[in-house]
Amino acid sequence: MKRREFLKAASVGVVGSAAVAAPAIAQSAPTVRWRMASSFPKTLDLLYGAGEVLSKAVAELTDGKFQIQVFAAGEIVPGLQALDATQNNVVEICHTAAYYYVGKNPAWALGTHIPFGLNTRQQNAWAYHGEGKDLLAEFFRKAGVVGLPAGNTGCQMGGWFRKELKSVEDLKGLKFRMSGLGGQIIAKLGGVPQQIGPADIYPALERGTIDAAEFSGPHDDERLGLFRVAPFYYYPGWWDGTSMEHFFINNDQWEKLPKAYQAALTTAAGLVNVDTVARYDVLNPPALRRLVEKGTQLRPFPQEMVAAAYKAAMELYSDLSKTNPDFKKLYDSMRKFQLESNPWYQASEYSYDSVMLRNVKG
């Protein structure tokens, strides 16, 4: 098969409608060089690596004409300034989690996750084909960026604690590293939330600057070494039932791209979104076993604490909806989607998982 015919055939069925027209690229392909600021250190191979997966795929889809160089957190800007760098055109693109920027506007959290929000499949459905697609695009556009879903950790763990938690009272005065709106809920329960970039979590926990920290799940947490400085590992991460990352692209830079390059970028981001979830599902189970073998003590959060957190979350969302129209528009859509899809998940995935967890024994 001739190369052009092969590329035409290969484009069929590519993620969404972003099939790349090979002849258009071949005939009028400018050379484009972009820089990507990642919010993640190279230690976090899946999160930092998502940018590299995108870069490789975009280059292959454009015959090497569109190159994106990935920079780890701190190499151009600190990890939590990746979005600012993109908005200010310091870099053309970044890879980050929208909920790192709730200080700008609490509505950013809906791009990643809110406590007691959607699960991973629901988040993908809402963001790709539900109302979330247009609502998030509108919100991001007002902030000067185009957002493409770019991976997901799945449901996260509840974090590492120096001391065992017995009741909600144990949260009072606790200095807890947490991202997104979960920090505001912890504050309502008496804790002291701290927003700290991934690379700085371990030294802060080791020095006692913080008393507890959440980041992701077993694979990432093991690589950060958190088990060495805090023995108790709690679950589930009720503030991170999913965690969608994004590639954010400067609006002006996006508009300058040829349509075929926009399609290549969109297609590659779709690959990253699927690939990252699958890799976490492969790597988290053995990492959890290793952590337990190293002495990590798994604990479920006390039910009293979860109930108190849920109540505080609903109060927070009610308050934000009264004062922040961006948040209300996104939150109302997300919660409606959750209410409508939960019965199906209860009848299908949840029921099946419950049956298998009871019956499949090692």
Encode pLDDT of 266-285 as tens digits: 999 999 999 999 999 999 99
Domain covering 159-241+286-320, topology:
D-Maltodextrin-Binding Protein; domain 2 (3.40.190)
Averaged pLDDT, 23-44: 85
DSSP states of 34-75: EEEEESS-TTSHHHHHHHHHHHHHHHHHTTT-EEEEEE-TTT
pLDDT at 102: 95
Using a 10 angstrom Cβ sphere, with 0-12 exposed, 13-18 middle and 19 or more buried, the burial of residue 338 is: middle
**Cα 340 vs. chain centroid, distance in angstroms?**
23
**3-state SS class at 94:** strand
Q: What is the DSSP letter of 211?
A: S
Distance CA 248, CA 2 (A): 36
Structure tokens at 362: 């090692």
pTM: 0.90
Same fold, 3-154+242-282 and 159-241+286-320: yes
Distance CA 136, CA 154 (A): 20
Distance CA 320, CA 109 (A): 12
CATH number, domain 3-154+242-282: 3.40.190.170
- CB atoms inside a 10 Å sphere around CB 300: 12
**3-state SS class at 90:** coil
What are the pLDDT digits (tens) for 342-357? Answer: 999 999 999 999 999 9
Q: What is the DSSP letter of 156?
A: P
Tokens 């993109």 correspond to 86
**Phi, psi at 68, each rounded to 5°:** -125, 120
DSSP states of 291-346: HHHTT-EEEEPPHHHHHHHHHHHHHHHHHHHHH-HHHHHHHHHHHHHHHHHHHHHI
pLDDT band, residue 26 (cuts 50/70/90): low
The share of the chain scoring above pLDDT 90, in percent, equals 89
The answer to whether 85 and 77 are in contact (CB under 8 A) is yes
Can you give the residue ranges of every domain in the chain?
3-154+242-282, 159-241+286-320
Structure tokens at 99: 């909920």
Averaged pLDDT, 48-64: 98
**C-alpha radius of gyration, the chain, whole number:** 21
Distance CA 20, CA 360 (A): 44
- On average, the pLDDT of the chain sits at 92
What are the pLDDT digits (tens) for 125-142? Answer: 999 999 999 999 999 999
